[in-house]
Amino acid sequence: MPYRFSFDLSQISKAFFKELARVANEKRMHRKIGERARSLAERFRIRELTGLDVSDAIMLVEDLVDIYVRNLSQRKSFLETKKRALFLPHCARKYMDNRCQARFDPEIPSYQCAQCSPDCLVNQATALGRERGYDVYVLAGSSCIPKILKNHSYQGVVGVACSQELKVGGDYIGNNGLQGQAVPLTKNGCANTWFSIESLKRIL
């Protein structure tokens, strides 16, 4: 389910994401997050740089911290997994219309990237995932996950999506005994979205 607001974190400094990781580690040590999220949002001028209102900016930061916390807590067991899948979001394709040559196979269910554009994020992430030995899926939404997992015996899953979808997908993956890692979108909106390929490299 998408947020009811759109965000674009491309103008936010890299220090914000480092700080997120630090705060996530603190939260893991059972400290309260509400005030920290508010102060992070203010310090890194999230409202000014994204146009979000206060409560949406804080919600976004809290969700990002939660994702980082989950990543940290599952990192060790994830690294021990052998058979892994990479789930990419269809909204990060370069084109959302028929210029995208990907075919959607409902039997899998996944888009199959036809590599029409070298500068397409989904194309680049698909190649990266395959190089690292992952089965790669380009999902139309988290509702595709149960069918894929039912048909394969994966142990580990890396998901790229907006924080809202990562929460839903992460819960499903956790409830089914799999180890997950996540890369949140830095720009949402369900089309022309963006994530950091460098972050994906580090997670894979």
- Report the distance separating Cα 134 and Cα 149, nearest Å: 14
- Our finding on whether 187 is near ligand SF4 (CB under 6 A) is no
Of residues 60-99, those binding ligand SF4 (CB under 6 A): 89, 91, 93-95
What does residue 115 show for φ and ψ, rounded to 5 degrees? 55, 40
Q: Which of 25, 115, 176, 192 binds ligand SF4 (CB under 6 A)?
A: 115
Nearer to ligand SF4, 122 or 178 (CB): 122
Of residues 122-141, those binding ligand SF4 (CB under 6 A): 122-123, 141
Report in angstroms how near the CB of residue 43 gets to ligand SF4 at its nearest.
Answer: 26
Nearer to ligand SF4, 27 or 122 (CB): 122
Nearer to ligand SF4, 28 or 140 (CB): 140
Q: Which of 110, 179, 188, 196 binds ligand SF4 (CB under 6 A)?
A: 188
- Report the distance separating Cα 18 and Cα 93, nearest Å: 27
Site for ligand SF4 (CB under 6 A): how many residues? 25
> Dihedral of the CA atoms 193, 196, 197, 199 (nearest 10)?
-140
Residues that bind ligand SF4 (CB under 6 A): 2, 89, 91, 93-95, 100-102, 113-117, 120, 122-123, 141, 161-162, 165, 185, 188, 190, 193
